[in-house]
Amino acid sequence: MTKSPKELGEKEALDKTRAPGEIPLSEIEAIINGKHTNPFAVLGVHQIGEGFIARCFIPGAEEAIVLTLDGKDLGELKLRHEAGYFEGMVAVTSQQPLRYRAARGDVEWAVTDPYSFGPVLGPMDDYLLREGSHLRLFDRMGAHPLKHEGVEGFHFAVWAPNAQRVSVVGEFNNWDGRRHVMRLRQDTGIWEIFAPDVRAGAAYKYEIVGADGTLLPLKADPYARRAEMRPNTASVTTPELEQKWDDAAHREHWEKADHRRQPISIYEVHAGSWQRRDDGTFLSWDELASQLIPYVTDMGFTHIEFLPITEHPYDPSWGYQTTGLYAPSARFGEPEGFARFVNGCHKVGIGVILDWVPAHFPTDAHGLRHFDGTALYEHADPRQGYHPDWNTAIYNFGRVEVLSYLINNALYWSEKFHLDGLRVDAVASMLYLDYSRRHGEWVPNEYGGRENLESVRFLQKMNSLSYGAHPGVMTIAEESTSWPKVSAPVHEGGLGFGFKWNMGFMHDTLSYMGRDPVHRKFHHSEITFGLVYAFSENFVLPISHDEVVHGKGSMIAKMAGDDWQKFANLRSYYGLMWGYPGKKLLFMGQEFAQWSEWSEERALDWNLLQYHMHEGMRRLIRDLNFCYRSKPALHARDCEGEGFRWLVVDDDDNSVYAWLRMSPGEKPVAVICNFTPAYRENYRISLPNAGRWREILNTDAEIYGGSGKGNGGRVQAVDAGGTISAEVTLPPLATIMLELE
């Protein structure tokens, strides 16, 4: 409201009578109205000549007495504005932290002055951040408990270079943006403040005024290590993670191992729907640990891969639209619970992989979108910064601070939570500028091409630094195109991933298994073609959540034939997959042939295990895992051509395939698949060695729900004039494995 001439005259008169060191009323009003962009220049303790003046803003206070931290009374300050602004000379010999005893009527309370503390971040932080080489940002940015200049509290730091003002607001200041206006570090655009007396468990956000003076929606902390349970969206102060780790042996094993030559069988899990409490609510991490870890251990899987467990507002996004990359979701309890879960896995030799989403982020008002009023984390041009498939924003990989935010996050999970790896989501969308875009809807790179060179450099740097800092981790790319050298080292021109999902294997083989067996002979190459490129990358064979949702049907529902044939087909398929070169990944519920599609809204149909066919499928997966792990021939050369040789490749009339899996110095294993319902006796197959071959697995065994046909445990390979072969019984719709005795 416009001031009258009389009011303006009174203000000028008051300003003329102010004591030395007292600031003009215009500055006072800027502070109490939240318009002052640098209160540190005014509030706190400042030297005036040979003395010191204290200035503070305590909303609602009528009196303010200055105290030292140890309680010494330094006198009463003068109230200069009824909103709670005080000034006065204090008997101190240097700038130092102060407390105030504030009063209004009979009510008294204590306030420690946040503006009387110096900065926490230093020039080295500024230098490393600008250079893009700061690898401990997760210890400097966000909210961290700290004893600073003798006082306990939390230090807050956030990047918002284009903001006019940034305040941290929360329960500790009644969400009042005038109380903790932050200090701007000019060189980096980082705002910071030490907020004394703030305790762990306090909800907070950032109140940001854009460069044009617009007050933005309150923003969650990009580096928050804990968040509120949805639908609430605030960040939460939390102690530094403390976990007594008992995983030295586990980590040492993987640091020394060549991942390509280790058995890796991954159980993909959505933490919110693997199992639930009787009332339908989520299990905590400790409850999950007591049930999931023993189950995975008994099933023989080597790793658990979680769909994103970072904080996200919308359950049906499954975590892929995250608003808190550094915060384990509050759905399952505090971050310490997740650390205990990982520790429990490691104690029994189970690795933990996190599905990680650095490609895009949701546009929720409290998230990263237009964080400081500008396109900060995303590109301003929608042709580069908007993802049409998911209605999300795309990270600006050309900005040093954004790369540091994401790379530090990758390092954070390995550093703080001892995670064994990251499965990087939507890599294909990151690599191509024209991904899901028509002509004219994308911006070519500097050479006129469609490759996103900034994204390539980001992925290479992320992988190099991840493997450099944590040699035991593995990174896995979900990449669905023919981009070369995804899993080749960066120094050889590759992206630097440890593994790549083999989407071609999944697509072709599932297409084949969905066909009526009578038609399979016309599509024989859907099984054989994958071996043309099977060793061009280090592959993981994925049967993931994406294959059992949105009308695609569960794995058992995809199979051709009547119910018996569906089970037989699925058993034979799993036999093929575990005998095929490449690491394994299977989504939860598919190990016991759940009929219904997966839904994040409910637990798996565990009741099916009371039926023999479903329990048989579970036992098969268990036996496949232990067979795969115990036989080096089946895993030690998963990624190398010397570990594979065709035995039968062209018997399309009978839809039979056979190959040999090998490893130097180990017994070879023959894998034989019969993908028709025909029972074939005396099927002659060439083998590399004469002698007895033991049938180590038969998917048609009665214990798995099959018909019980087989070879009585052994076959005899004989040398007939230089040609070694055996007559083998092939059960209907089955895979068998033979090992040389």
The catalytic site residues sit at 425, 478
CB neighbours of 142 closer than 8 A, spacing ≥ 6? 156, 157, 158, 221, 222, 223, 224, 225, 235, 326
Geometric angle at alpha carbon 424, from 377 and 273, rounded to 5°: 105
Cβ(168)–Cβ(498) under 8 Å? no
What are φ and ψ of residue 167, in 5° steps? -125, 145
Interatomic CA distance for residues 55 and 596, integer angstroms: 66
* Three-class DSSP category at 12: helix
- Choose among 365, 395, 359: nearest CA to 380: 395
Interatomic CA distance for residues 368 and 357, integer angstroms: 14
Tokens of 214: 């617009």
- Choose among 165, 152, 155: nearest CA to 122: 155
Interatomic CA distance for residues 660 and 662, integer angstroms: 6
Interatomic CA distance for residues 705 and 721, integer angstroms: 40
Interatomic CA distance for residues 637 and 538, integer angstroms: 10
Cβ(45)–Cβ(90) under 8 Å? yes
Q: Report CA-CA distances (Å) from 433 to 320, 437, 501, 694.
A: 20, 8, 21, 53
DSSP 659: E
Beta strands in 5-77 (DSSP E): 44-48, 51-57, 63-67, 73-76
Tokens of 647: 């035995």
Handedness of CA 562, 565, 569, 570 (dihedral sign): positive
Q: Report CA-CA distances (Å) from 62 to 65, 74, 115.
A: 10, 17, 20
Please give the span between the terminal C-alpha atoms of the chain, in angstroms, as a whole number. 94
